[in-house]
Structure 1
């Protein structure tokens, strides 16, 4: 009976040991393969993905730069159109187009920023840290696995010794209890090793899944910004395109102001100057009154040019100019006017305004002030924007025939009280509402007033136009 029990234990232990050993080797191999897959396949592929992403980012940045130049040129076309009596409304449309596409471009830049910070940078950091982490984790797993395996193998070796001793003994039954203890210990250690290997395999699969989840999550963040970019573009263009198409639907239809001018020229009753396009004194520009605007007194020098032309000699000094044109006289000439700051002005957080200090020289980039605001470039720092015209004075010119207008004392509700007002709203430039009586030739030889150096500055002008017209 004792011999039969011993043989049964030996056979069971040997079979269990062989099966467990085979399973243990297979499971351990699978676990090691999973971890090595992350290190030798996933991480290299992720590095390649990041490299391709950087190439994509660089290409989009190049497109962004080209777009800035393209819409800078579109602004210039709008400026030319705004100087034409027959196409002034199309100039406004071109300004709106440039502004809408500037907003879309800003959204694209936000998407690019998200692509870089939320995807590429995050993945690049992860892949570098991951290589060190996985190396340490794999080394730890191998050490623990080796320790548990050696402990199991030691018990199996002790059992073999005991069985050899039992087989050579005259009384083998005395070893049965000890052999049973070894069998139970081996079974326990084998179970512990199997559990360890299974947990290691589960951990390896989880680590791999976590990495793919992170990649998908980062890609979702970029997709959200991409959706916002395309959504904003769709909303803006859907709203504006019908209006733009309507503006150019009939090329032969001239605006009412142009038709009135044609009729007046045909009747010979609206001659403002004997030779308006070649006058040495330049053209006087009187814009339409703004609804609700408070009129300003007309300087005696300008009185003959208001209303019926030079033939009206009975115009008194109490005639008024619209508020938007009260400071326009003296600025229209063959070349650009320059003014000098007599007060300092801070733009604050408003990117459309121009900051300057007392004494700075500013080159005017548009022909007229609007509601007391003018647009120009500070010659000291080359920044451009809108500024309160009453803060400046026109620099004297060598041409004694040029009209002189006191810009500082010509106050209106929008200029005279600027120093007392706490809130200064966004200046509203006007190309579409200013009634230019004749096409100007002033800009034929002047350099363009915008630069590709800063896209935000390039389109500051058009931003104000789009807000006015919309």
Structure 2
């Protein structure tokens, strides 16, 4: 570059630092402070969240069914709190070593760059005046002035490079610190998460489910609660398939026929005393005989009758009554129960009007946890509560 280009390039570097780099760095400091404040709010919210999770875990440990799950919840909450503390340490370093350093350097750099530019312009005027006098005497060719301009341009480039290097090194160190934290915690956190998952999966085991069902059955047997009034005890739509399948298998083969072949006889294992405001439900007492009129369960409910009333009731509340010898002979003569129903519908009673269809079974409340994946059960389904007579 010639003399004029060198001079303009040097002034351009000083102008870029004063008018672009330092204002951009000041904006970066402001954003960094906002970033830290946002994380502090996030850390406060995170602390409250995982404290609440730990409280739920503590409550769970007081139950007889979910102590292992409560321990896992408490461990997860404590691990997340420790992780948040580690990240807080990074943000504390980021504030002191990056944001504050940039802020301090901006304040000092404004005076330094302004002074450097003023000294350079004064030197340029001084060298230019000396060069002009020397050229008049024809004893100099201006080489010393060009050398000064080149040296000043190189120094300005170094000043610019130092500032960009400072910014890059600070954030490189930040990335290294985050990487160290990830290396420190990622492996251990992954191992803990896998161990927690194994503990949770173990609670789905058959032995654990059996223990819980036995305990629940003892409580029901002792307290003799009217289960039909407790909505949480009613079979949910998601479990109706497994429960009703076992009920159909037991009801389908060994029940005697009553009521002229209209249905199958069962005995109530527990009392079903629903709310009287729902006329579609069938109330009965423990040990009472219930005639099943609709053999195929709907969402775990059967339709049947007692001596005084008809209605829906949970399929798991009854068991088949073993047929007597007379009923065996009746079945041998008349075939299966389904054949008896077919005959009554289209044979000897063809002229009689069919009975009106029963009302639909009661709608069950939506279970928000019904989408939790369960392990497939075996043919000998044990998902229903064990009931003791």
Measured against the shorter chain, the TM-score band is 0.5 to 0.7
Q: Deviations over 1:397-435 (max 9, x none)?
A: xxxxxxxxxxxxxxxxxxxxxxxxxxxxxxxxxxxxxxx
Name the residue aligned to 1:412.
Answer: none
1:94 aligns with 2:73: yes
Runs (4+) off by over 6 Å: none
1:27 aligns with 2:6: yes
1:242 aligns with 2:197: no
Q: Which one of 166, 171, 183 corresponds to residue 138 of structure 2?
A: 183
Q: Which one of 51, 55, 60 corresponds to residue 81 of structure 1?
A: 60
8 A contact 1:118–1:222 mirrored in 2: no
Distance 1:98 1:255, change over 3 A: farther
Unpaired segments of 5 or more residues in structure 1? 1-21, 160-181, 272-470
Matches of 1:266 and 1:25, distance apart in 2? 100
Matches of 2:93 and 2:147, distance apart in 1? 44
1:143 aligns with 2:122: yes
Q: TM-score if structure 2 supplies the norm length? A: 0.52
Matches of 2:188 and 2:43, distance apart in 1? 19
Per mean C-alpha deviation after superposition, the further-off stretch among 196-205 and 223-232 is 223-232
Q: Deviations over 1:231-282 (max 9, x none)?
A: 34422321111111122225554887x949967x969xxx9xxxxxxxxxxx
8 A contact 1:82–1:89 mirrored in 2: yes
Q: Deviations over 1:145-175 (max 9, x none)?
A: 111111111223xx3xxxxxxxxxxxxxxxx
1:231 aligns with 2:183: yes
**How much has 1:68 moved relative to structure 2?**
0.5
8 A contact 1:46–1:127 mirrored in 2: yes
1:194 aligns with 2:149: no
Unpaired segments of 5 or more residues in structure 2? 223-389
Name the residue aligned to 1:71.
Answer: 50
Q: Which one of 29, 38, 52 corresponds to residue 50 of structure 1?
A: 29
Higher RCO (C-alpha 8 Å, min separation 6): 1
Q: Which one of 132, 137, 155 corresponds to residue 203 of structure 1?
A: 155
Matches of 2:82 and 2:191, distance apart in 1? 14
Matches of 1:45 and 1:77, distance apart in 2? 47
Q: Which has the higher helix share?
A: 2
Secondary structure of the equivalent of 2:138? helix
Name the residue aligned to 2:111.
Answer: 132
Matches of 1:142 and 1:260, distance apart in 2? 89
8 A contact 2:29–2:103 mirrored in 1: yes
Q: Deviations over 1:271-316 (max 9, x none)?
A: 9xxxxxxxxxxxxxxxxxxxxxxxxxxxxxxxxxxxxxxxxxxxxx
8 A contact 1:111–1:226 mirrored in 2: yes
Q: Which one of 157, 160, 170 corresponds to residue 218 of structure 1?
A: 170
Per mean C-alpha deviation after superposition, the further-off stretch among 70-79 and 83-92 is 83-92
1:19-418 to structure 2, matched below 5 A, reads 23-156=2-135, 159=136, 182-184=137-139, 186-187=140-141, 190-249=142-201, 251-253=203-205, 259=211
Matches of 1:251 and 1:131, distance apart in 2? 66
Q: Deviations over 1:427-461 (max 9, x none)?
A: xxxxxxxxxxxxxxxxxxxxxxxxxxxxxxxxxxx
Matches of 1:252 and 1:227, distance apart in 2? 37
8 A contact 2:68–2:200 mirrored in 1: no
8 A contact 1:107–1:229 mirrored in 2: yes
